[in-house]
Amino acid sequence: MRKTIMTVDDAATMRRMISFTLKGAGHEVLEAGDGAEALELLRNRTVDMVITDVNMPRMDGLTLTRELRALQQFRRIPIILLTTESAPEKKAEGRANGATGWIIKPFQQEQLLAVVAKVLPV
């Protein structure tokens, strides 16, 4: 089933790779270059899932996650952090801010699709 997923990353190459993978699986993909841009785009619409980098300018992924969780329409959607950060304390911080899961970069396309399939309701 086609879902709408937002990918948020300051690296255009990473956004393209995620978008290519998700579109190949039949999903619609929205892109944002940082958390502030994503929050602005999402104020007027909803998505089924957000996949965000952690370290970005203007607004990082942890702040974006916390801000989205404060909005009624984003309280229950999956938010996956996709990052090079692998320290246990960073993962704990992600969970504390409302993240659903964590994927370490670099990732395999199959890994990303497996996580999406696992957390998105059919």
CB neighbour burial string for 89-103, b if at least 16 within 10 angstroms, e if fewer: ebbebbeebbbbbbb
For the chain, list the domains and their CATH numbers: 4-119 (3.40.50.2300)
Taking the C-alpha atoms of residue 78 and residue 34, their distance in angstroms, rounded to an integer, is: 18
Taking the C-alpha atoms of residue 101 and residue 99, their distance in angstroms, rounded to an integer, is: 6
| pLDDT 10s digits, 57-97 | 999 999 999 999 999 999 999 999 998 888 888 889 999 99
Beta strand residue intervals within the chain, DSSP E: 4-8, 28-32, 49-52, 79-83, 101-104
Measured over the CA atoms of residue 44, residue 48, residue 54 and residue 56, the dihedral's sign is: negative
- Above 70 in pLDDT, residue 122? no
Three-state secondary-structure class, residue 102 = strand
Q: Which of 56, 70, 51 is nearest to 4 (CA)?
A: 51
| pLDDT 10s digits, 5-42 | 999 999 999 999 999 999 999 999 999 999 999 999 99
Task: Confirm if 21 and 30 have CB atoms less than 8 A apart.
Answer: no
Q: What pTM does this model have? A: 0.94
Task: Confirm if 77 and 6 have CB atoms less than 8 A apart.
Answer: no
**Tokens matching residue 76:** 């229950």
